């Protein structure tokens, strides 16, 4: 629950909120560019000094130990994915053995669908939604083709009633006797809506359907209780709110009730650790979520997470969520106060319990506005066709940052500074 909060529009109030912020000390742990305000942490989190340090320690292990770094040194590589799984588990509400840090988001989705999609009888279809990130849909289509099914018929995508949000009633209604597997986002990447994961999981379980979630836009921003809710599996990236770095190794969760289920995509790092180097041609899978690893972990893309997750353990996900709610509410109040008459519409849920870690602003000139903001040192994110995403991050964004960013946005709109730019996205948006 968010602590009591009242809104005042002046800069002094932003400074007061910063003085009261119990997480403010973490701001100094990140590399923040002078004369710039970074509001794109829901796409790529910033580098922290602790993440840099643990990366340098792993580089030192490679330099000093060579191949012996697998079992010796600061962070022995052979057990690094399991160690990071233990550190991540509290953030997703899981037992340590239910989480592994491995692969990439889409590779992990392929692994989990290959493992848990078992069409039989009438149950042959996969249920998803029309607002999900495209990569998930591509993977589901691919898995259906591998099984010999036409994705146009066997991938059911729940419709949005307004193009912004999904209604849980509509999703549950689509959980028919033809559905074998459900794959949904925890937080919608465009609007920031949080789906009621507990309710959806209970509905799927009641119907004998397995359900999994894409946590890319929630891990590190909101608390989860995957095990208590009975979620079958989940997967996520670690480079957004968890600040693991570009291309950071991803994570996956498998409920312990499924331990022993053979991985759909087998690889030797899914072996039981004491058997891996026996070099047998019969796999002995790990008895944990480690079974669903495939190949050798990318050590240098794992190492920064050691430092980053240390901060999350110290700060506490509940404290992070509380500040995230408060600073995003402050952002929305400022936008309404300063920009209420220039064509913006807040495209995120107004209810705190339904909103993740970012705010979506809709405007017909969104691409141009993003370019104008960047020119002024404000780093937003654009999503076609008309969304400016702003993500104040609890560990490194200040309330004063938010106040200054909104004042700059007001200047851009009042003086039409965006008009010199084309209203189309860059190659990378």
pLDDT tens, residue by residue, 45-62:
999 999 999 999 999 999
Q: Are residues 149 and 243 in the same domain?
A: yes
CATH assignment at residue 356 = 3.90.1150.10
When pLDDT is averaged across residues 394-415 and rounded to a whole number, the result is 98
423 found inside a domain = no
Averaged pLDDT, 99-114: 98
- The answer to whether 236 is a known ligand-binding residue is no
pLDDT > 70 fraction of the chain, expressed in percent and rounded: 98
* Alpha-carbon span 359 to 355, nearest angstrom: 8
pTM equals 0.96
Give the whole-number percent of the chain exceeding pLDDT 90.
96
Do 235 and 210 fall into the same domain? Answer: yes
Residue 429 has pLDDT above 90, yes or no: no
Q: Is 79 marked within a binding site?
A: no
Is 397 annotated for ligand binding? no
Clarify whether residues 282 and 376 are in a common domain: no
- Per-residue pLDDT at 2 exceeds 70: no
pLDDT in tens, 249-283: 999 999 999 999 999 999 999 999 999 999 999 99
How crowded is the C-beta side of 217, counted as CA atoms within 13 Å? 24
Q: Is the CB of residue 193 less than 8 Å from the CB of residue 161?
A: no
296 is in an annotated binding site: yes
325 shares a domain with 308: no
DSSP summary character for residue 427: S
- Residue 238 has φ and ψ, to the nearest 5°, of -120, 15
**Domain-ending residue, one of 289, 314, 339:** 314
In a domain, 43, yes or no: no
Nearest CA to 359 out of 198, 196, 235, 188 is that of 188
Are 320 and 253 found together in one domain?
Answer: no
Which of these three, 314, 346, 364, is where a domain ends? 314
Q: Determine, yes or no, domain membership for 41.
A: no
Q: What is the mean pLDDT of residues 179-186?
A: 98
Instruction: Tell me the pLDDT band of 424, cut-offs 50, 70 and 90.
Output: confident
Contact criterion met (CB below 8 Å) for 24 and 18: yes
Please check whether residue 429 lies inside any domain of the structure.
no
Is residue 44 in some structural domain?
no
Let me know if residue 422 belongs to a domain: no
| Full residue range of the structural domain in which residue 273 is found | 52-314
Surface-to-core class of residue 138, CB atoms within 10 Å of its CB (0-12 exposed, 13-18 middle, 19+ buried): middle
Residue 142 predicted with pLDDT over 80: yes
Please tell me whether 352 is known to bind a ligand. no
**What's residue 306's pLDDT?**
98
Question: Do 206 and 306 belong together in one domain?
Answer: yes
Is 288 marked within a binding site?
no
pLDDT for residue 213: 99
**Is residue 293, in this structure, part of any structural domain at all?**
yes
Where residue 4 falls among pLDDT bands split at 50, 70, 90? low
133 marked as part of a ligand binding site: yes
Q: Tell me, yes or no, whether 379 and 257 share the same domain.
A: no
Residues for the chain: how many in total? 429
Same domain, residue pair 291 and 327: no
- Which domain-ending residue is among 296, 314, 332? 314
Q: What is the mean pLDDT of residues 62-75?
A: 97
* Same domain, yes or no: 303 and 323: no
For residue 3, what pLDDT band results from cuts at 50, 70 and 90?
low
The pLDDT of residue 372 is: 97
Looking at residue 229, its pLDDT comes to: 98
4 is in an annotated binding site: no
Pick from 80, 82, 77, 81: which is nearest to 66 by CA?
77
75 is in an annotated binding site: no
Q: Are residues 398 and 265 in the same domain?
A: no
pLDDT score for 198: 98
Mean pLDDT of 188-209: 98
Structural domain total, the chain:
2
One domain, residues 162 and 293? yes
105, 239: one domain: yes
Question: Which alpha helices (H) appear in 21-72, and where do they start and end?
Answer: 49-65
> Could you identify the residue written with the tokens 């141009």?
368
CATH classification of the domain holding 197? 3.40.640.10
User: What is the arithmetic mean of pLDDT over 373-379?
Assistant: 97
Cis peptide before 323 (omega within 30 of 0): no
Say if 302 falls within a structural domain. yes
Q: Is 88 annotated as a binding residue?
A: no
pLDDT band at 346 (very low <50, low <70, confident <90, very high): very high
Is 110 annotated for ligand binding? no
């Amino acid at each position: 629950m968010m602590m009591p909060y009242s809104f005042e529009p002046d800069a002094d109030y932003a400074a007061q909120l910063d003085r009261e912020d119990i997480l403010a000390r973490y701001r100094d742990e990140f590399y923040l560019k002078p004369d710039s305000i970074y509001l794109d942490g829901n796409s790529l989190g910033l580098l922290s000094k602790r993440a840099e340090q643990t990366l340098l320690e792993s580089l030192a292990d490679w330099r000093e130990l060579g191949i012996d770094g697998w079992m010796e040194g600061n962070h022995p590589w052979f057990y690094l994915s399991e160690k990071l799984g233990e550190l991540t588990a509290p953030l997703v509400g899981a037992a340590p053995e239910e989480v592994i840090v491995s692969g990439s988001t889409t590779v992990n989705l392929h692994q989990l669908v290959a493992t848990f999609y078992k069409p039989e009888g009438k149950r042959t279809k996969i249920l998803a939604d029309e607002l999900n990130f495209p990569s998930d849909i591509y993977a589901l289509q691919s898995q259906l083709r591998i099984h010999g099914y036409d994705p146009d018929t066997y991938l059911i995508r729940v419709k949005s009633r307004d193009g912004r949000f999904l209604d849980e009633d509509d999703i549950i209604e689509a959980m028919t006797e033809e559905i074998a597997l459900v794959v949904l986002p925890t937080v919608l990447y465009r609007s920031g809506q949080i789906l009621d994961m507990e309710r959806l999981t209970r509905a799927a379980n009641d119907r004998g359907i397995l359900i999994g979630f894409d946590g890319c836009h929630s891990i590190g921003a909101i608390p989860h209780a995957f095990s208590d809710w009975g979620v079958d599996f989940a997967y996520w990236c670690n480079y957004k709110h968890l600040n693991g770095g570009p291309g950071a190794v991803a994570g996956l969760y498998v409920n312990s009730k499924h331990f022993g289920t053979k991985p759909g995509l087998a690889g030797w790092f899914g072996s039981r650790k004491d058997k891996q180097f026996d070099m047998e041609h019969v796999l002995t899978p790990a008895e944990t979520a480690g079974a669903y690893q495939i190949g050798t972990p990318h050590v240098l893309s794992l190492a920064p997470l050691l430092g980053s997750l240390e901060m999350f353990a110290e700060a506490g996900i509940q404290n992070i969520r509380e500040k995230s709610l408060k600073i995003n509410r402050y952002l929305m109040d400022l936008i309404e106060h300063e920009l209420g008459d220039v064509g913006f519409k807040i495209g995120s849920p107004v209810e705190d319990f339904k909103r993740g870690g970012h705010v979506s602003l809709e405007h017909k000139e969104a691409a141009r506005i993003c370019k104008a903001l960047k020119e002024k040192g404000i780093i937003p994110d654009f999503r076609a066709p008309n969304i400016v995403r702003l993500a104040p991050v609890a560990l490194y964004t200040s309330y004063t940052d938010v106040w200054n960013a909104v004042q700059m946005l007001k200047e851009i709109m009042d003086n039409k500074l965006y008009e010199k730019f084309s209203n189309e996205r860059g190659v990378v948006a």
